Amino acid sequence: MDDDHARRLLRTALDEARAGLAEGGIPIGAALYGADGTLLGRGHNRRVQDGDPSAHAETDAFRAAGRQRSYRGTTMVTTLSPCWYCSGLVRQFGISRVVIGEARTFHGGHDWLAEHGVDVLVLDDPECVLLMREFVHRRPELWNEDIGDD
């Protein structure tokens, strides 16, 4: 996947992150695209909005896509490097590709995914960095809760 195409897909995840922020939530968004490029599902972190600690952006997008027989050829696009929970999701279900907005404010499991054959692209998008940097500065306790950091 070329960078321009990946950046277009990232817009969907960024829109989700901003929607989450507008709801008072943690601004991380994601989208799952099919092998043919169709959008299968999109979502954002819902810890605050739904009181649901299991709803990370990637799991919310995965959930929205519903049951799928195979994830071969699919692409998970996320505004932030996926944590171990979301990296485990990608590995278990054989999602082929992960497009990541940024990995500066949080470095999750994407190196591990690359080692295990997942095609990983980190875009280092300044809007994604800014969104998280401002959020973590403003709500450090909420961010730590979301990644299980005591």
Assess 34 for contact with a second copy (CB under 8 A). Answer: no
Decide if 102 contacts 9 (C-beta within 8 A). Answer: no
- Measured in whole angstroms, the distance separating CA 54 from the mean position of its chain's CA atoms is 13
Q: Which two tokens stand for residue 128?
A: 């994604």
The mark string for 10-29 relative to a second copy (x by CB under 8 A, - otherwise) is: --------------------
91 contacts a second copy (rule: CB under 8 A)? yes
CB-nearer residue toward a second copy: 96 or 127: 96
List binders of a second copy among 93-132 (CB under 8 A): 93-94, 109
Residue 32 in the binding site for a second copy (CB under 8 A): no
**38: contact with a second copy by CB under 8 A:** no
How is residue 104 written in tokens?
Answer: 């500066």
**CA separation, residue 42 to residues 61, 63, 72, 82, 105 (Å):** 4, 9, 18, 15, 22
**Nearer to a second copy by C-beta: 67 or 138?**
67
Cβ of residue 69: shortest distance to a second copy, in angstroms?
A: 6
CA distance 137 to 2: 33
Instruction: Tell which one of 30, 40, 77, 89 touches a second copy (CB under 8 A).
Output: 89
Q: Using the rule CB under 8 A, is 78 a contact of a second copy?
A: no
- Which listed residue (23, 58, 115, 145) is catalytic? 58
Catalytic residues, by residue number, are 58
